[in-house]
Amino acid sequence: MRNSLGGELPRALFNTSSLIAICLQENKFVGPIPPATAVVSPPVKHLHLGGNFLSGTIPASLGNLSSLLDLRLTRNRLHGRIPESIGYLPALSLLNLNLNNLSGPVPLSLFNMSSLRALAMGNNSLSGRLPSGIGYTLPRIQILILPSNRFDGPIPASLLHAHHMQWLYLGQNSLTGPVPFFGTLPNLEELQVSYNLLDAGDWGFVSSLSGCSRLTRLYLAGNSFRGELPSSIGNLSSSLEILWLRDNKISGPIPPELGNLKNLSTLYMDHNRFTGSIPAAIGNLKRLVVLSAARNRLSGTIPDAIGDLVQLTDLKLDANNLSGRIPASIGRCTQLQILNLARNALDGGIPRSILEISSLSLELDLSYNRLAGGIPDEIGNLINLNKLSVSNNMLSGSIPSALGQCVLLEYLKMQNNLFTGSVPQSFAGLVGIRELDVSRNNLSGKIPGFLTSLNYLNYLNLSFNDFDGAVPEGGVFGNASAVSIEGNGRLCAAVPTRGVTLCSARGQSRHYSLVLAAKIVTPVVVTIMLLCLAAIFWRKRMQAAKPHPQQSDGEMKNVTYEEILKATDAFSPANLISSGSYGKVYKGTMKLHKGPVAIKIFNLGIHGAHGSFLAECEALRNARHRNIVKVITVCSSVDPAGADFKAIVFPYMLNGNLDMWLNQKTHQNSQRKTLSLSQRISVSLDVANAVDYLHNQCASPLIHCDLKPSNVLLDLDMVAYVGDFGLARFQRDTPTAHEGSSASFAGLKGSIGYIPPEYGMSE
């Protein structure tokens, strides 16, 4: 036993008159089990051959071992049918045939062994129905293990009379009908009926289980259970440690009575249809190690009481409709290894307390929410983390250099946010990184050369940012299918790369276009066009030479309500630029931006203002173009009165908006302004480029819905930027579009005089 003996078993194995026990388990024996053909029945009482590589069928001659008490053939490669003769062993009390390739129906003789106390035939391919009288014909049975087979039909009601039953495992079969009322089994410790085709009826079986005072494990997952979970679930044994309800169709609220099960360590409720809020009584389960309520329809906020579950290692609440802020109390769960809150409607910032849980090692997933602000530097505390995803939020600021301290990271997903600045040099320390996605942000600068030295990197997505310069060569960049860099208009490559021009072709292309134009255009048109092109070319050169209006040389700071208050001089009327349907725009100055900024404050007391904030963030997160207004950062906080506060910070446009230049009568207090012909052409081209990008080049085609002169902003060089995306709508639903923002995309929108007639007709 537990050696490395090998070869075939000797054919004379059972030709003995004195051996009582043959224990050869956990070795490397191969070949068939030799037949027991001795003239005189051997006195063998214990035959243990499990954990080998034995093959062939079970010899029917084993039925000749009339003194056998326990037969263990588990974990071999035996196949074929179970011989009927095994069922005639008069003294057999334990039969273990688990984990083989046995098939066919089970001989009735096995279910008529009155001496049998333990029968284990799980993980085979046995079929047929369980005998209706099994509870009577196995009167001494204590352990019945039959999972992962092909049994069908109902669970025999006679099992309710197997009063010695301790472990009953019937999972992973095709059993049908209701679950019997097993409350008549006072010694029952473990009940497993998961992954069958059972129905819950009126859930009376749960109430009956309150009579099983020794019950420690209850597996009800993967059936056809419907309806509401009864409050009687809280009356189950106080010894219950494991409860599986996952993969059913259970609806209604989670009963707060679950909080009565004080010894519960594992609770799986995921993949159901639970609604309502998570009851605070969950916090009573102080011994809980695993809590999964993912993929339900839960709503409301995450209760602070979750922080009382200090022994939690796994917390999964993803794919629900949870809202509000992530409670800082989760930081008290200092043994967490997995935290998944993805695909909800959570807002606010990422609590620093969560980033101080150094035990987080397997996963931190906060993706597909509405989180705003920057990533705190405390992220560097997660030195054991393997997977981090904060994608598809409204996070802003620079990517913290502290992320480079998470040296065990293999998967880093940060796409679809508002991050600015460059890829931190500290990422060179992520030597084990396999997948890195920072696409669809506002990142800029050169693509770091150290990415070519990350030997395990097999997926890199830098697309739809503002990177410039030459694409590095070697490393992951040598595999075109592993890298995505499209949507970075200022990149060039030394070799042909999809979506990127060749570095050597740029000057040649410009020269060829000028020569061709000179040959085919008449002298008069040439003169006019050259003047216009010269003005536009000069403007583009000046724009390219300036720093990106959304970037800063230092680290981007998280914007608080207090900073907004200070920047606007306490919302001074002297700083008020304009008022709109959903709020006001103030001029201000902030440390995170070199020049003045425009701060759009949303009046959340107005119906639709919150949706307008979400719509504008959603649109600007997905749209990045030189003629679309850039977001410096957003503020999602609360004011001193505790009310929600939302604001978006943009670069201040020194030349105001186009309406101020075109309609002097409506802006009598402003200085007299006129546009030259070349300026009018340049502004028109800028707006046309922006609209063309939104409609035809944006990953998710976007309709502005309120394009008018007052929403076209002009910077110091008279470069035009399309702004105010509060009414914008995507042409079709996309995975990145939040359901919460869809309300602000519905119906006819825009300003009178500027709504396209065909848009109204298409609704």
**Tens digits of per-residue pLDDT, 187-232?**
999 999 999 999 998 899 999 999 999 999 999 999 999 999 999 9
**What pLDDT was estimated at residue 667?**
54
Question: Comparing 128-142, 458-472, 570-584, which segment has the lowest mean pLDDT?
Answer: 570-584
CB 292 within 8 A of CB 316: yes
Residue 544 has pLDDT above 50, yes or no: no
Residue 702: band (very low, low, confident or very high) from pLDDT cuts 50, 70, 90: confident
**What pLDDT was estimated at residue 521?**
42
Average pLDDT over residues 129-143: 96
Average pLDDT over residues 378-396: 97
Average pLDDT over residues 745-760: 58
Residue 402 inside a domain? The answer is no
Instruction: Report the SS3 class of residue 575.
Output: helix
Residue ranges making up the domain that contains 699? 561-762
Helix (H) or strand (E) holding 205: helix 204-208
Q: What is the secondary structure of 261-295 as a DSSP string? A: -TT--EEE--SSEEEEPPPGGGGG-TT--EEE--S
Residue 382 has pLDDT above 50, yes or no: yes
Average pLDDT over residues 277-303: 97
Question: Comparing 36-50, 148-162, 210-224, which segment has the lowest mean pLDDT?
Answer: 36-50
Residue 478 inside a domain? The answer is no
Q: Is 706 an annotated catalytic residue?
A: yes
Instruction: Report the SS3 class of residue 756.
Output: coil
Residue 701: band (very low, low, confident or very high) from pLDDT cuts 50, 70, 90: confident
Report which listed range, 270-274, 508-512, 677-681, 715-719, is most confident: 270-274
Question: Comparing 153-167, 274-288, 688-702, which segment has the lowest mean pLDDT?
Answer: 688-702
**What pLDDT was estimated at residue 501?**
83
| Domain at 683, CATH number | 1.10.510.10
Cα within 13 Å of Cα(367), Cβ side: 18
Instruction: Report the SS3 class of residue 626.
Output: coil
CB 60 within 8 A of CB 37: no
CB 567 within 8 A of CB 597: yes
| Biggest distance spanned by C-alpha atoms of the chain | 120
End-to-end CA distance of the chain: 76
Residue 555 has pLDDT above 60, yes or no: no
**DSSP assigned state of 213:** T
Residue 546 main-chain phi, psi, to 5 deg = -80, 155
**What pLDDT was estimated at residue 736?**
41
Residue 449 has pLDDT above 80, yes or no: yes
Residue 678: band (very low, low, confident or very high) from pLDDT cuts 50, 70, 90: confident
Residue 692 inside a domain? The answer is yes
Residue 333 inside a domain? The answer is no
pLDDT digits (tens, 9 = 90+) for 515-542: 444 444 445 454 556 555 555 554 554 4
Residue 35 main-chain phi, psi, to 5 deg = -75, 150
Helix (H) or strand (E) holding 635: strand 633-638
Residue 750 inside a domain? The answer is yes
CB 648 within 8 A of CB 550: no
Q: What are the structure tokens assigned to 183, written together?
A: 């409350």
Burial of residue 157, with CB atoms counted within 10 A of its CB: 0-12 exposed, 13-18 middle, 19 or more buried: middle
Sign of CA dihedral 401, 406, 412, 418: negative
Burial of residue 287, with CB atoms counted within 10 A of its CB: 0-12 exposed, 13-18 middle, 19 or more buried: middle
Instruction: Spot the catalytic one: 318, 365, 706, 724.
Output: 706
Give the mean pLDDT of the chain: 87
**What pLDDT was estimated at residue 706?**
84
Number of domains in the chain: 1
Helices (H), 554-608: 561-567
Quote the CA–CA distance of 467 and 487 in Å, as a whole number: 9
